[in-house]
Amino acid sequence: MPSAMEGSEGREEREILHYEETEDNSVSHTDLSELLKEGTKESHDSAENTQFVKDFLKGRIKKELFKLATVALYFTYSALEEEMDHNKENPVFAPLYFPVELHRREALIKDLKYFYGEDWEEKIQCSEATQHYVERICHVGQHEPELLVAHAYTRYMGDLSGGQVLKKVAQRALKLPSTGEGIQFYVFDNISNAQQFKQLYRARMNALDLDMSTKERIVEEANRAFRFNMQVFDELDKIGRSLTEEEDAGGFPVYKGTENAHKCPYYAYKLGKVGPYHAAVALAKQPLVQLLLVTCVAMVAATAAWFLL
């Protein structure tokens, strides 16, 4: 028999990613909000049915895995909000710029400090799946800013809808303080009525001066954003299966965490911000790369010594 938590979350699971709670008769089927609602239904369903999300909703979430999910969100929102800041006066995105109401980076820093301590920046790393997501967001912000609408819609509307369910589940399952430590990401202090704000946001989306071709590209990009999220979920699920209750997970051994996603030398080189020489020097300073270099030098030296015997 399922526990009381599982029964409660089972009911909540059915509404987790449904952003459009009520019908609005004033909208047209050609409005961007309607195109996104209809055009991402399949992606909604797929995201709902990832193993990570299903386990999360049933309260089957380990603390270390929740911490890693918070790290992934930090890198994602750092990139998204940086690109939104860069495009805050661009007419293709400006009406959707709500930094006071929506931005999550500072809230995520509070959560990371709670989980990892004051030196949290030294303890986190950006996973491979998250890095792919970050790279796409930064590409869009710099080259196709109109598509930022898709990434903002996918993230923030979800945070204000299903994210509120996840907040309650995490607080209960992980026995987090009732004062909100560890779940500040889900707390929107400057939005008094989430439903009204979402209606305002959709109205602003519909008022953007976009032709049908651009709207279709935004819907396509929203589906791409869902796929990136699902790849992060799948990555977390694989890690979760390898964790034991006693294990102190070390995180993702891929990219070193920084406040600014652009500081990753690999990513900077991909964007042409630094030359290959400087990228190589920056990479050589990474601890893992240094260890590999020392190992290679030692192997070469040992081989040479053997031939001289």
Binding residues: 37, 44, 153, 202
Confidence at residue 309, expressed as pLDDT on a 0 to 100 scale = 44
**Contacts for 112 with CB less than 8 Å, ≥ 6 apart:** 70, 71, 74, 120, 124
Mean pLDDT for the chain?
80
pLDDT at 60 over 80: yes
Confidence at residue 255, expressed as pLDDT on a 0 to 100 scale = 39
Tokens 């009406």, residue located: 95
- Tell me: the pLDDT tens digits for 144-175? 999 999 999 999 999 998 888 899 999 999 99
pLDDT at 23 over 70: no
**CB atoms inside a 10 Å sphere around CB 232:** 24
CA nearest neighbour of 75 among 308, 257, 200, 207: 257
Q: What is the CATH number of domain 29-242?
A: 1.20.910.10
CA distance 272 to 292: 26
Binding residues for heme b: 37, 44, 153, 202
Tokens 């602003």, residue located: 204
Strand partners, 126: 255
**Contacts for 85 with CB less than 8 Å, ≥ 6 apart:** 99
Q: Is the pTM of this model over 0.85?
A: no
